[in-house]
Amino acid sequence: SQKIEQNSEALNIQEGKTATLTCNYTNYSPAYLQWYRQDPGRGPVFLLLIRENEKEKRKERLKVTFDTTLKQSLFHITASQPADSATYLCALAGPGGFKTIFGAGTRLFVKA
């Protein structure tokens, strides 16, 4: 069955450092991969989308890579800030885009 794995352990980093979150998947050939941010008690908020034929995408302090051979995406937050503390969800959508499946998320804590 399709499976998405994100590091279940929380990631703790110091302010100013780069946070790197990992998303691995199996039994899936996604056409798109998305990253969302979710704060406690709120719905997920879209951050970035990357297509299967793209290797990297950037938006301000965020960078996403997508390696369809390794079946892995890396999500980087550079110059991290305490306000970046949240849970980050990886989501995959198939070629038809007809169903998006989400990973369980990784909790990020940025210490001042």
Partner 1 sequence: DAGVIQSPRHEVTEMGQEVTLRCKPISGHDYLFWYRQTMMRGLELLIYFNNNVPIDDSGMPEDRFSAKMPNASFSTLKIQPSEPRDSAVYFCASSRKLLEETQYFGPGTRLLVL
Where along the sequence are the contacts to partner 1 (CB under 8 A)?
31-32, 34, 41-46, 49, 51, 89, 93, 97-105
Q: What Å distances lie between residue 1 and 5, 8, 24, 56, 101, CA to CA?
A: 13, 20, 14, 27, 12
- Min dist CB 46 to partner 1, Å, is 4
Tokens of 73: 């995406």
Residues 6+ apart with CB under 8 A from 17: 80
The nearer residue to partner 1, 85 or 105, going by C-beta atoms, is 105
- Min dist CB 109 to partner 1, Å, is 18
Q: Is 84 helix (H, G, I), strand (E, B) or coil?
A: helix
The nearer residue to partner 1, 13 or 24, going by C-beta atoms, is 24
The nearer residue to partner 1, 11 or 13, going by C-beta atoms, is 11
The nearer residue to partner 1, 89 or 110, going by C-beta atoms, is 89
- Min dist CB 63 to partner 1, Å, is 18
- Would you call 38 exposed, middle or buried from its count of C-beta atoms within 10 A (0-12, 13-18, 19+)? middle
- Min dist CB 64 to partner 1, Å, is 14
- Say if residues 109 and 10 touch (Cβ distance below 8 Å): yes
